[in-house]
Amino acid sequence: MKNFIFFGMIAASLFVSCNDSENQNEIILTNSSGNINNVSVIIENEKWEGQVGEALRKNLAAAVDGLPQEEPLFSLNQMPPEAFSGFVRKNRLFVKIESDKPANFKVFNDPFAHPQTGILISGNNPQEIVDQINKHSDSIIDILKTTEVKEKQRRIHKSLKNDEKLKKQFGVSLKFPSAYRYAIEDEDFFWIRKDIPSGNMEIMVYQVPISSIENDSSVVSNIIRMRDSIGKTHIPGPLEGSYMITEEAYAPYLFESEIDKKFAYETKGTWEVKNAFMAGPFINYAVRDSANNRYLILEGFAFSPSTAKRDNMFELEAILKSAKIE
Domain boundaries, the chain: 7-156, 164-325
- pLDDT, position 4: 41
Q: DSSP state, 259?
A: E
- pLDDT, position 248: 84
Task: Identify the burial level of 138 via C-beta atoms within 10 angstroms of its C-beta, where 0-12 means exposed, 13-18 middle and 19 or more buried.
Answer: exposed
- pLDDT, position 14: 35
The band of 27, judged by pLDDT with boundaries at 50, 70 and 90, is low
- pLDDT, position 164: 97
pLDDT tens, residue by residue, 124-151: 999 999 999 999 999 999 999 999 999 9
Query: Is pLDDT of 263 > 90?
Result: yes
Cα distance between residue 38 and residue 93, in whole Å = 7
CB count, 10 Å around CB of 233?
A: 13
Give the pLDDT mean for 41-64.
Answer: 98
Q: Buried (b) or exposed (e) across 159-169, using 16+ Cβ within 10 A?
A: eebebeebeeb
* CA distances (Å), origin 72, targets 18, 69, 120, 321: 43, 10, 21, 21
Query: Is pLDDT of 62 > 80?
Result: yes
More confident site: 25 or 44:
44
**Do 92 and 113 touch, CB atoms closer than 8 A?**
yes
The percentage of residues in the chain with a pLDDT greater than 70, rounded to a whole number, is: 92
Query: Is pLDDT of 173 > 90?
Result: yes
Select from 3.40.50.720, 3.80.10.10, 1.10.540.10, 3.40.1000.10 the CATH code of 164-325. 3.40.1000.10
- pLDDT, position 161: 97
Taking the model in full, what pTM does it have?
Answer: 0.90
- pLDDT, position 264: 98
CB count, 10 Å around CB of 264?
A: 24
**Strand spans (E) along 43-133:** 75-79, 93-99, 104-109, 113-114, 117-123
The band of 15, judged by pLDDT with boundaries at 50, 70 and 90, is very low
**Minimum mean pLDDT range among 3-12, 107-116, 166-175, 220-229:** 3-12
pLDDT tens, residue by residue, 176-213: 999 999 999 999 999 999 999 989 999 999 999 999 99
**Do 56 and 131 touch, CB atoms closer than 8 A?**
no
**Do 137 and 158 touch, CB atoms closer than 8 A?**
no
Cα distance between residue 129 and residue 171, in whole Å = 48
Q: What are phi and psi of 261, to 5 degrees?
A: 65, 20
Maximum C-alpha span of the chain: 74
Stated length of the chain: 326
Give the pLDDT mean for 245-268.
Answer: 95
Give the pLDDT mean for 19-27.
Answer: 42
What average pLDDT does the structure give for the chain?
A: 91
pLDDT tens, residue by residue, 264-305: 999 999 999 998 889 999 999 999 999 999 999 999 999 999
CB count, 10 Å around CB of 294?
A: 21
pLDDT tens, residue by residue, 70-104: 999 999 999 999 999 999 999 999 999 999 999 99
Cα distance between residue 271 and residue 287, in whole Å = 20
- pLDDT, position 275: 86
Q: Between the CA atoms of 122, 125, 129 and 132, what dihedral angle is there, to the nearest 10 degrees?
A: -90
- pLDDT, position 3: 42
Cα distance between residue 267 and residue 76, in whole Å = 26
Cα distance between residue 53 and residue 84, in whole Å = 17
Cα distance between residue 243 and residue 232, in whole Å = 5
The band of 6, judged by pLDDT with boundaries at 50, 70 and 90, is very low
**Do 248 and 231 touch, CB atoms closer than 8 A?**
no
**Phi/psi zone of residue 118: left (φ > 0), alpha (ψ -120 to 50 degrees), beta?**
beta
- pLDDT, position 306: 87
The band of 17, judged by pLDDT with boundaries at 50, 70 and 90, is very low
**Do 322 and 302 touch, CB atoms closer than 8 A?**
no
